[in-house]
Structure 1
Amino acid sequence: MYAESAPHSNPVLTKKSERKYSGIGAALIAFGIKYSIDNGCRGDVMFDAKTDELAKHYAEDFGAMRIPSITNGGPKRFMLADEAAWKLFSEHLVEEVNEDEAK
């Protein structure tokens, strides 16, 4: 399933004031960044854009960089790494603090 599939939450298909949920795709990418960090991949993530509008959204709003697709004529593939990945990660995920460590 694609993160942007739900039309009522898609920033490309629905006006911001009419969206039921906001930030779902960004939060899912942030969790992907966390998974990448937890598995020793420095927080780098790659993902595909199904439409030109989503490609523009990923580049402009997330700072994602366009990279070559595996197949010629394949989907528009993006990579989020370094400062852009950290910015998205820090905006959407908060570190949990163990109550014993906080005291």
Structure 2
Amino acid sequence: MLTGKQKRFLRALGHVLKPVITVGKGDISEALIKETSEALASHELIKVKILESCLMDRHEVAAELSAGCQAEVAQVLGRTLLLYKAAKEPRLELPKEAKAKK
């Protein structure tokens, strides 16, 4: 589970990214999940564009893709998703949780 600080960090990095995956008219298929998993394995952080012809709700698409790929949803903004999955050898170093103040 990502903290708010980590999501903010990922959103800042994802701002300049171009969409790697496009979700079209069909439902979320095994092929789409496999393609998304491969993209996450090579990039760690990807943008997914949902076309207007997609019949599913954008939050449903985010939930199904993240569950199928064991990824975290960093952002859902309009018809664009930002997905993150740490690689075996991570290239992105996420900010640590802040220590609780007493």
Shorter chain as denominator, the TM-score bin is 0.3 to 0.5
Higher alpha-carbon Rg: 1
What TM-score, normalized by structure 1, do the two folds share? 0.41
> Which protein has greater RCO, CA pairs closer than 8 Å, 6+ apart?
2
By percentage of residues, which structure has more helix?
1
By percentage of residues, which structure has more strand?
2
What TM-score, normalized by structure 2, do the two folds share? 0.42
